[in-house]
Structure 1
């Protein structure tokens, strides 16, 4: 059996052995029973999807779980382990740093330290973990009277909003076009860009506003609000092949709102003009 700590974290369904330092973490009770049950359902669903081979959907459920409860240890560690096992060490390290950022303002330096140690054991040295270590050191210094006054206060973390989009794929001979419609009244995008795994910007296009009541091309699911803007991007054969086979997208989407680039979430409408619909729908 493999001794890879990342695989052990994914398989963890009960509290670890008492000899492990992370087992001594004493998590607070969830805010309410509904949030707790939602998070547990998302974690269970992620396990089933992962066993079925749908890593993309499993990751989406774990992202939702940590959005509901940012300090749920099980959801956090499973998410970090899945990212690391998929080769996204940067994403895994950032997930450990995110968890520590949420724990430190609660005054729980011990839990933050345990998680830093656990993350370092899984990933080794990483810039995000070094930065987290500096934040923990600052929090420790703040515990000593006389030093705290000169120590900057840790800002309370906040989750950046994500800009929702729905998309269709159109074929035009040898080219593929991805039409996105989305945004909200509060998050009105002025542009969308395609970014690869090395943070290289592949393409940037300005959005075209949708007038109130104007019907877009993408089907709006019942109960959801129509988008406020649309844009068309060219995508590669590899990108379309990944969609059709349920593999992770080779790129990510970002939307510009005001002066800031935010993460854009994209939901597949399964609309494929000029080609047959794929067998697998990717969300």
Structure 2
């Protein structure tokens, strides 16, 4: 596939998406959101891809927010439609993707950039990363899931402090609060993510996608996460991956999961 604002590659069962708008610090405009959606959709459908890593080009920014020029004159209705479409195309789409997604956060992850990182299943930050939701400084609130996912990760009080001050946090604070899983040097960021992805790729893709679904169920209103887990656990018993995994364990060999 050919894109204007992103680069996609694959390597050893890992798909890579690089947001490539360095002159705009990789800010998300409508076209970029659509392209990232299409890239995720394509990589998720590729049976050879077991894990997806998303990052930003250069060393300054993962994604430094949304492209404000695109919506500065929007009406209330247009603003709501912008948020709804963003959720559908990218943020909720990534959060519920069957393929696990790692955000390699290099540099600034602000506004929509932090919201994109939080939608990913795992976050790894370089030691120069800075994260924040500065929307209230523009007279608006986070609109791509920031008010919901940030409290889930760091707690209500810390989330409200970050949102209301519009300030940034560094990697030490982000790691301590649980906003990111790991912090590494800039040079180590992608190699570390590749190593982490390789560990994930060794396991059953069917079980992993079901685990993502069940964990997300626990954060969904009106859904009983425990009941969803029971159903998901039972579902796994009918898969070829379960048969291969248990057989390999009993035969004392490494499993070769068919992904079915």
| Fold agreement, TM-score > 0.5 | no
| TM-score of the two chains, using structure 2 as the length reference | 0.31
TM-score for both structures, normalised by structure 1: 0.29
The structure that is helix-richer by fraction is 2
